[in-house]
């Protein structure tokens, strides 16, 4: 019998590359405004605008695009020409249509674990964009449940576990964001495997849990996940040390 009723995966930068698309777009955004401001100041103001707009627009690519436009208007005191605003919208369209590039080991790890576990995909952002990426990833068939949520908080995980009648101690979450994938699940009494990605959006950066925190694991890449699960299954690693 598997140790977990459900193994859930984050998608962006856990199964497929996303942050680097944002980073590339941000480079182009900086170039667009290079005659007005320094790259550092542009980044800082864009981040401030994104944070301020979270309450209005939530997460996702369309929110990011609206925040880029707003930042461009502010930083140029309204002098940005319309065709450059259009360029920002075109950046978004390119991102939306970009090929989904899976992380190394993602395809084989998900296929292998799906054979013995119920897998769930939990991702946040634009419904339409996330659905399109899931479809293009080729991984959808391995997931018994796909959940696109507006935010990943303790409350949203609690609601998902309740909806699927899964006890937290039988739930494992795998992801690259301590803030969104790991800490809220540990807080509920679930298990979580942190797989760092080489770039993290500032908003998602936070302190890791204390050493020895029950249910918390870290591996270098997805290819190491099956071996960790085997160690947990044979009791060689303890999900909830007593």
Residues that bind its own copies (CB under 8 A): 56-60, 62-63, 65-66, 69-70, 72-74, 76-83, 85-86, 89, 92-93, 96-97, 126-129, 131, 148-150
Q: At 217, list the tokens.
A: 């694991």
Residue 146 CA to residue 142 CA, distance in Å, equals: 10
Q: How far is the CB of 117 from its own copies (least distance, A)?
A: 20
Whose Cβ is closer to its own copies: residue 105's or residue 145's?
145
Q: How far is the CB of 72 from its own copies (least distance, A)?
A: 7
User: For residue 120, what is the enclosing H or E element?
Assistant: strand 118-124
Q: What is the dihedral of CA 82, 88, 93, 95, to 10 degrees?
A: 170
Is 103 in a helix, a strand, or coil? coil
Whose Cβ is closer to its own copies: residue 96's or residue 102's?
96
What are the CA-CA distances from residue 166 to residues 7, 206, 211 (Å)? 11, 27, 26
Q: Strand (E) positions, the chain?
A: 6-9, 118-124, 145-149, 171-175, 191-194, 216-218
Residue 163 CA to residue 128 CA, distance in Å, equals: 22
Whose Cβ is closer to its own copies: residue 103's or residue 119's?
119
Whose Cβ is closer to its own copies: residue 46's or residue 229's?
46
Q: How far is the CB of 125 from its own copies (least distance, A)?
A: 8
Q: How far is the CB of 193 from its own copies (least distance, A)?
A: 26
Is 159 in a helix, a strand, or coil? helix
Whether 12 and 125 have beta carbons less than 8 Å apart is answered as yes
Q: How far is the CB of 129 from its own copies (least distance, A)?
A: 8
Whether 227 and 203 have beta carbons less than 8 Å apart is answered as no
Whose Cβ is closer to its own copies: residue 25's or residue 109's?
25
Q: How far is the CB of 10 from its own copies (least distance, A)?
A: 16
């Amino acid at each position: 019998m598997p140790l977990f009723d459900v193994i859930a995966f984050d998608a962006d930068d856990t199964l497929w590359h996303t942050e680097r698309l944002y980073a590339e777009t941000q480079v182009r955004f900086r170039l667009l405004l290079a005659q007005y401001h320094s790259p550092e100041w542009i980044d800082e103001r864009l981040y401030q605008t994104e944070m301020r707009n979270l309450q209005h627009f939530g997460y996702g690519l369309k929110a990011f695009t609206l925040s880029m436009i707003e930042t461009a208007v502010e930083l140029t005191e309204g002098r940005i020409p319309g065709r450059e605003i259009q360029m920002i919208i075109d950046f978004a369209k390119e991102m939306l249509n970009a090929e989904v590039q899976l992380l190394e080991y993602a395809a084989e790890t998900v296929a292998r674990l799906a054979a013995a576990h119920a897998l769930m995909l939990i991702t946040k952002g634009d419904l339409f964009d996330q659905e399109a990426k899931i479809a293009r990833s080729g991984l959808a068939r391995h997931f018994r449940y796909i959940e696109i949520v507006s935010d990943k908080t303790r409350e949203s995980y609690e609601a998902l576990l309740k909806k699927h009648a899964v006890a937290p101690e039988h739930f494992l979450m795998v992801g690259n964001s301590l803030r969104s994938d790991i800490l809220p699940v540990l807080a509920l009494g679930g298990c979580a495997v942190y797989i760092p990605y080489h770039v993290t959006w500032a908003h998602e950066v936070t302190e890791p849990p204390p050493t020895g925190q029950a249910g918390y694991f870290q591996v270098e890449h997805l290819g190491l996940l099956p071996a960790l699960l085997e160690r947990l299954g044979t009791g060689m690693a303890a999900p909830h040390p007593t």
